[in-house]
Amino acid sequence: MDKRAPTRVSRRSLIAGSVMAGGAIAAVGPAAMLNQPAASAARARTRRLTMYAERIGDNLIGYGLAPGQATVPGPLLEIYEGDTLEIELVNTTDQRLSIHPHGVNYDTNSDGAPLNGSFNEPGETRVYTWRTQEQYRASGGFYMPGSAGYWHYHDHALGGEHGTGGILRGLYGGLIVRRQGDLLPDRQFTVVFSEMTINNKTAPNTPMFECRHGERVEFVCIGHGSQPHTFHLHAHRWADTRTGMLRGDSDYSNVVDNKNLDPGSSFGFQVLAGEAVGPGAWMYHCHYQAHTDTNGMAGIFLVRNADGSMPPGAQEAIDRFHGHTHAAATTQAPTTGHGGH
């Protein structure tokens, strides 16, 4: 099994640079720019990248930014509201597949669904275009929402009309659309609850997410499959808002440490690692008890000391975690009749 960790697109290349081929500023379309200030149009950029869908071992398929670099989950993509993202998807497999986004704008040719004939045949390369918009005032004085949020992308064509086989085999990843001025984290982690797996693994082989005490850490949480879940992070909490943060001393938004993560849903948040509780090996897990007890839907959020050293007791906790009785550990997707070959 390939042990490579999931990657994210460099913030320098996607967020800070927002590079454009030819250096031209691209419009994001008349609907997106309706009643928006000229400054928004001036910021709008088009970022182009190539992604490869390829096999990982015998059972998984993932997205990667270069040949041989596919991971599960796929790369975490980030752009700002107003930007356009053009993804050239190269299908290196012998199965039809696609890439379908949540939370952004696209036409039927970039839908990623067989309904619209939008997919890659085996060996085919296809360009998918995703556009974003800022909040704007529409007719009648109503406001239309922007694209900012924690979203995701996934296959919609492998093994059937809805990509069930592709999702089960790992064709998914996180997508962040930021507003100007959003705080940027020190570290980011993508957590996908799909059927009874976390990133297509079960305990004790689930991901251990590592950081240092005091770092700003961002979690992108995504639900897939056919089972309802919740995401709980020990000793840390966040505001139930778009960013997971409060907007000031008069913001009384609900604060949570456990949130529903149903199939197709996603959310994200930032925490200061170990804030007020200290470093240590903290658990994250699904709070459906049977999902954790019987199916191994649990993992470790390791907050090291600020200097990177292991805090007292952390290694012992990790050893206990690996010694617990979990469901039979697996690093493969559940078998399904829709998985292809």
Pairwise CA distance, residues 244 & 241, whole Å: 5
Q: Which CATH class is domain 11-178?
A: mainly beta
**Cα angle 83-89-95, degrees, rounded to a multiple of 5:** 145
Share of the chain above pLDDT 70, in %: 83
Residues 6+ apart with CB under 8 A from 311: 213, 278, 279, 280, 303, 304, 305
Pairwise CA distance, residues 74 & 64, whole Å: 6
Domain borders along the chain are 11-178, 187-323
- The yes-or-no verdict on residue 55 having pLDDT over 50 is yes
Two domains, one topology: 11-178 and 187-323:
yes
For 21, the 3-state DSSP assignment is helix
pLDDT in tens, 280-339: 999 999 999 999 999 999 999 999 999 999 999 999 999 999 997 766 555 555 544 333
Residue 11: per-residue pLDDT: 46
16-40 burial: b if 16+ Cβ within 10 Å, else e: eebebeeeeebebeeebbeebeeeb
Phi, psi (degrees; rounded to nearest 5) at 323: -95, -10
Q: What global pTM score does this model have?
A: 0.86
Which of 237-246, 265-274, 307-316, 329-338 is predicted least confidently?
329-338
Question: Please, what is the average pLDDT of the chain?
Answer: 87
Q: What confidence category does residue 9 fall into, taking pLDDT thresholds of 50, 70 and 90?
A: low
| CATH level 3 topology of 187-323 | Immunoglobulin-like (2.60.40)
Mean pLDDT across 176-193 = 97
- The yes-or-no verdict on residue 72 having pLDDT over 60 is yes
Q: Which residue has the tokens 């059927």?
A: 195
